[in-house]
Structure 1
Amino acid sequence: STLRPPNIPDHSDDIEEETRRIKLALSTVFTAQSNPTNNEVLSARDVADAYLTSFQQLPTAWMVCDGLLREETNVAIEDEAKRFFAAQTLHSKCRFDIHQLPVESLPSLRESILNTLYAYSSKGAEPPNKPLITRLALAIAALSVQMNWTTAIPDLIQYCSANAEGNNVIWTTLELLSRLPEELNVRISRSSETDIDVYVGEMRKHGALLFQFLDYCSQQAQQQQQQQSPNLSSNVSNQILRQVYYCVDSHVYFLRVDQ
């Protein structure tokens, strides 16, 4: 027999109340993962999962997820699950639901996600929570297509050059640069009819600057390895080098940028 979808409660238009409900739903799903044999828990999980799925389509999800990403709590594991859900939701909405936002709000959305991403990257001695960083980078990449952000490459490089006090900033910038071309091959709902070929052509113009930056990052990582600097462990320098190679592959494959 076909299972009927669970009855889910209505969503709230109040951001604070909806945030509370989303946190409760996430906690319910998280609890079910640690208690997979309890039928009552599994039933509650199904309702919570359906609530979260329907929430992701709503205009209020933009503000709720932005708040979830910024919020700090003392429950580390649940924090990671909550933040990844928020980042995943924003990525999807940047792809398909950009029409829910006024065009003039997109620059502030971009800055908010970038600030959140770099705030996470500044924590710890090594690149933290890679899945979260990658998902936020993909959200930025999708948004860059929606906004026709053709100066993304020089803008990100300039930011990194001005703020590269730690290697996490370099690693995160490389992750952003690597993900920028990937959203070009995704069938997203665009906010304008700007020819994608024109956008790609504008991005290609920054190829020389990109490879100059990648060469700089590669040389810095190699020098740090040789000097065994306390500011950059061998593990982190290897990650940066791998990220450089991945970035080259991404831009050559998706943008057909000449090396």
Structure 2
Amino acid sequence: MLITGATGGMGSSHARGYHAEGARVVLAGRRDGAGRALADELGERALFVHLDVTDPGDWERAVATTEGTFGPITVLVNNAGLQTPPAPIEHTDPAAWSRAFAVNSTGPFLGIRAVVPSLRRAGGGSIVNVVSTMANVGTACFAPYTASKWAVRGLTRTAALELGRDGIRVNSVHPGVVSTPFVHDPVPGSDTAIADAYSPDAFAVPRLARPREITDVVLWLSSSEAGFVTGAEFVVDGGLLLGPAMPAGEPVEA
């Protein structure tokens, strides 16, 4: 199996989760030092490959290395993504828009395109696209990220229709605010962190998600237990999209 963005907070959680289940895990990303360190930590059945998800040549090499080491790929987790500095649309740099789409939308497209032949050689498998709750709503000042993640919803459903008869299921997971450096550290080019804009106080489950809670859904989607699930979207957000929750013990008037 192959995971992109495998050195990040969620990516490394996914890698550890699959490895603990006995999978042969290929960690793909641009941070070579962190990737090799994680592969060394996991030990047997783990391998790091350098991958810029916007580069078709990198994808070809990653697939060839994976097959040469572990055989045909059975699971692809498109986890890599980036955020752009917050700004209203009229002040958004077109380069930020292009970069967001290159990584967040074109990356999964290139991944599916590159990995599908290997999945067919394996006799089928699973693709899981890690998206965002921002793909379910509009989000002021984050147009590049929001729009690029909405695009992956269409990609997921289209791929599910194209690949279902090959025994390849394609689904998406939409995390809310997850306690990772991606959320807590300032967005590159900004002094603002995503967590600054989202207080969990109003969530039905009033806290940030733990990375493992997203990993558990990703693992399930690629398991035989989800064999009848494809083209589906799984929101894991503690109720963020539902709106403000009622305080505990609040009486309901008839």
Please give the TM-score of this superposition, normalised by the length of structure 2.
Answer: 0.37
Please give the TM-score of this superposition, normalised by the length of structure 1.
Answer: 0.36
Relative contact order (C-alpha < 8 Å, sep 6+): which is higher?
2
The structure with the greater share of residues assigned to helix is 1
